[in-house]
Structure formats: structure tokens, C-alpha cells
Amino acid sequence: MGNWVVNHGFSAVALVVWLGLNVFLFVYAFLTFEKSDKYYYTREIIGSSLAWARASARCLNFNSLLILLPVCRNLLSFLRGSCLCCRRTLRKQLDHNLTFHKLVAYMICLHTVIHIGAHLFNFERYSRSCKADNKSLAFTLSTLYPHEKGSPWLNPFPSPNMTAERLTFTSIAGLTGVIITLALILMVTSATELVRRCYFEVFWYTHHLFVFYFIGLVIHGIGGIVRGQTEDSMKEHPHSKCAEEYDKWGEPLHCKRPQFEGLPAESWKWVLAPAILYIFERLIRFYRSQQKVVITKAILHPSKVLELQMNKCGFRMEVGQYIFVNCPSVSPLEWHPFTLTSAPEEPFFSIHIRAAGDWTESLIKACEQQNSPLPRLEVDGPFGTASEDVFQYEVAMLVGAGIGVTPFASILKSIWYKFRHADHTLKTKTIYFYWICRETGAFAWFNDLLASLEREMEECGKVGFLNYRLFLTGWDSNIVGHAALHFDKSTDVVTGLKQKTSFGRPQWDNEFSAVAAVHPRSVVGVFLCGPQSLAKSLRKCCNHYSSLDPRKVRFYFNKENF
């Protein structure tokens, strides 16, 4: 349990607080509408489904307030920079922004289902009370006033002939509810892992339906379908004295007729501030994206990896950050995230793009065309990631899978520059770097950097500072046989580096136990840019080999999230 607390304790507390606020808001709103005298007559028609509808609406507003904040990337980058003096456990919470965004979305879906279900019961009971044969209290309340604009009616069904379907598509609340629900369904279904990886464009376009979601949410309550007794009427017509004599309402010497009013729209109060913040965020991003980008070099590496080196006025970065790239000639609206592979010390910034879909393949083809100018690019960013904290740890374990090595290219380049300029302020004493690839060609573009680092470490007398291991998972018997035949050579036959390539996947228990043995009292930062399956294995090892005792080794897991 103690090992788990090291990596997830603060996140668990934050999650409990969020869930607790949801429970509190739901229960508070439920009891308000279930017990309040103001809604006594409303409950006589529709019962407890009123409280279920309003309680879920309160939680929908609360989570709609939160849903935009985790994707305000400039805000997160600002907070990350402002929290440099804070404990790493506080900064690490910013790395879970997309996870929290998804959790909030799931909570919105849950309360949407509750809200819709409750209103289906409401509509059925509203409709039934209009058609009652006996002169019940519900029938009296439903037919008490003519259904005209400004009249104090209680039942939104103006006549027994009105159907729930017709009211849904002719009322503001019903129509906006349909729009909100459809937008939510499309956004959630297109955000699944399968769709995002195979049809990113579908995900990107449908996710922008959030604009219709928020517009619909703000005006959803304007119609005031859910109504309660007015304050003045409650004084002149207390239900405790008048409800039983409802057949004599309005007669002399008896109770006045109750007056009703619609609930004011309140969603805008919840979402106004985050909406303004998000609009401001998008304006900043739009302004930065319009600044001119000059492509100084385009290099096509093996395994269809395109390297782009660029310049942009006023561009400043830190290690491990990422940018969003748009190519108007490929798609004027699509923006894709790419980790920066250059170091802050270099006079340019660069990215490496692997062909992994229609957009990336089209961009690579556009850059391959000879006798044609390079396509125009727009760049937004940079934005902060977990990798920014790599130099805050005494020991760092960097794990990259395939093209996931890109953030560590930036880190390793920065280390190279720091050693060349004799930067002795570096807190990090040892780095363990693991790169896992499926094919030999993927190693090619990164070999030069590793070779330079090998030479630099030897010249500086810091051979043990960088310990790297390369793993080839997609291989055949010819490669293995060739490697075995030349095993006695000083350099690896696959990469040309001094470090020999390992075949197969790393045994993470062995790796973590070895690091823990060499650094028994260190704080180790584990950084991953790779798939969820690998993240699960590394997270498990971090929990297993960490200790709450500050005198023993502790592993902190960090994962890149876009």
C-alpha cells in the first residue's frame, strides 16, 4: 500500500474530492427539490422524478464547468512553470489532465442518462395528468390556467392532444436537449482509442461539437418547463392549508389560486468563466499560429520518418515539450501534436513525423516532391509535458517505444550541450535510457545522437552518466544469426554503437531491481512515451519497488499525454 501511495496518493485525494463534490451537489439538489414547499404542487404531478432531474442537472453544470479546464494547454503550461518551486507531486497532477478530462466526460454521460430518464418519466406523468378522468389534484393543477405566454401554468402540456415527441421538438428545453445529447454521443464515441488512432480526423472534427453542446446547455433552461410556486403565492396560498380543498380554489372565503413560475436558467452561471478562459486560450493559440514559420531543413529518415527543422520569431522551448502543427495544403482545420526533438540550446526547433495515417502520409509526400517548394506550416505552442521535470530527479529512467523516443531526443541533446559547456548545475547524476523498436531501420535517425553522446561522456570522464539499452522486438533469424556471428566486434552490427542491441522485450523487474540496488536512497523519475500496455507494466514496477521511507529508493512514474 505504501508503494502505491508514493505514485498515486495525491491523485487519489484529488479524485475523492471531485467525487465527493459530485455526491454533495447531487444530494443537496435532490433534497431541495424533494422537500421544498416551493415544489410541492409540482411533485403532486410528477413525483420524485423532479428531484432526480434537477439533481443530475446540478452535477451536469458542475462537470461542464470542469470539462474545458484540462484542455486549456496554455493555462497548464503557465501553472507548470509557476509550480517549479512546488513539490513534484503537485506538478505531476498536471500530467493527468487528459485522464481527468475523460473522467469528467464520463460523469457528464452518467448524469445525462439520469437526467433524460427522469424527464421521460416527467413527460409521461405530465401527459397523463392532463387526460385524467377524475377531478384529481394533478388534473386540477394541469388545467388551472390557460397555457399562454406569461400565464402561471404548471403543466407544460397545453392540451391532452399534445404528445411528448411534439413537445420535445417544439420547446426550447426539448430541442436543445436533443442537440446536447447528440453532440455528446458523437463526441464520446469518436473519442474511443480505436477511432482516435485509426480515424483521427473523425475524432478531431466531431470533438468540436462541444461548441453546440455548450450553446445548447446555456439556453436549455430558458423555457422554464420545470416550475414551482412563487414566493408571494406561498404566503397567500400555503399548501398545508389549501391543498386538500383544491376544488374550492378561487372562491370567496377560500384559498386563492396558486401562482407558478419557471426556474431561471442557471447553466450560464456555471460555464461562463471557463468558457471565457477557453476563448482567451484559443485567441492566444490563433495569434501564435499566425506567426510565420520557416522550414530550414527537411530530412527523410528510414522507416518513413520525416525530420523538419524550423525557425519562428520569438519561439522558446524547454526539453520534452510539444507543439501542434497544421499544414493548410493538406487540411486547413486539422492540428496534430508532435514532440519537439530539438534541444533548447539549438538555434532551431525540430520534430520527427512518422507516417501513421492520411494526414502524416500526405505531409511527407508534400515534402518529398522535388522541384517544389516545401508546404507552408502553422505552429502553435510549445506546451509543457511531464518530461520537463526530468532534470528535477537525481536518477532518470527514460523509456521510448518507436517514435515515442522523440521527447528523449530533446533531453539527450540538451544534456550533450550542457556537458559541452561544462554546466555543473545539473541535478541529475545518472540517466538510464531504454528504446524499444520493431524494426532496425527505426534506429537509424537516432544513432548519430547516441554516438555523439558516447564520445562526449568519454571525453568528460562521465562514462557512467548515460546508460542506454536498445531493444529490437521485430526481428528474424537472419538478423539474430548475423548479430551472433559478429558479437565479438567492438560495435553493434545493427546500430553501429558500442552498446549491443538486445533482442526481445526488456525484463522490467530486472531493470528496476538493478537500478534500485545501484541507487538505494535516490529519487528516480521514470518517464515513458509509449503505449498503455507498456505504461501499465512500468507503473506496476514503480509501485512495487518504491518505499515511503525517505531513506530508501522511490520511483515516480510520468507518462507523456497529448
Which of these, 333, 271, 322, 273, lies nearest to 104 by C-alpha position?
271
pLDDT of residue 275: 93
Contacts of 282 (CB under 8 A, 6+ apart): none
Which of these, 442, 306, 323, 309, lies nearest to 369 by C-alpha position?
306
Whole-number Å distance between alpha carbons of 247 and 134: 12
Q: Which residue has the higher pLDDT, 468 or 70?
A: 70
Question: Residues of the chain with pLDDT > 70: what percent?
Answer: 85
Write a three-state SS string for 184-234: HHHHHHHCCHHHHHHCHHHHHHHHCCHHHHHHHHHHCCCCCCCEEECHHHH
Whole-number Å distance between alpha carbons of 169 and 155: 17
pLDDT tens figures, 249-265: 877 778 888 899 888 88
Confidence band for 221, pLDDT divided at 50, 70 and 90: confident
pLDDT of residue 114: 96
Mean pLDDT for the chain overall: 82
Whole-number Å distance between alpha carbons of 371 and 366: 11
- Residue 200: CA atoms inside 13 Å, Cβ hemisphere, count? 13
Contact between 339 and 349 under an 8 Å Cβ cutoff? The reply is no
> Per-residue pLDDT for 300 more than 90?
no
Whole-number Å distance between alpha carbons of 68 and 378: 24
Q: Which range has the worst mean pLDDT, 75-84, 363-372, 513-522? A: 75-84
pLDDT of residue 319: 85
Q: What is the CATH number of domain 386-476+492-532+551-559?
A: 3.40.50.80
Confidence band for 274, pLDDT divided at 50, 70 and 90: very high
Confidence band for 60, pLDDT divided at 50, 70 and 90: very high
pLDDT of residue 502: 73
pLDDT of residue 38: 92
The total of other beta-carbon atoms located within 10 Å of residue 337's CB is: 17
Q: Which residue has the higher pLDDT, 548 or 17?
A: 17
Contact between 466 and 497 under an 8 Å Cβ cutoff? The reply is no
> Per-residue pLDDT for 487 more than 80?
no
- Architecture per CATH, domain 283-383, reads as Beta Barrel (2.40)
pLDDT of residue 108: 96
Q: Do domains 283-383 and 386-476+492-532+551-559 have the same CATH topology?
A: no
pLDDT of residue 3: 55
Confidence band for 547, pLDDT divided at 50, 70 and 90: confident
Where exactly are the structural domains of the chain? Answer: 13-171+223-266, 283-383, 386-476+492-532+551-559
Contact between 187 and 209 under an 8 Å Cβ cutoff? The reply is yes
Q: Which range has the worst mean pLDDT, 77-81, 354-358, 542-546? A: 77-81
Whole-number Å distance between alpha carbons of 156 and 223: 10
pLDDT tens figures, 31-45: 999 999 999 999 989
Q: What are phi and psi of 548, to 5 degrees?
A: -75, -20
pLDDT of residue 2: 46
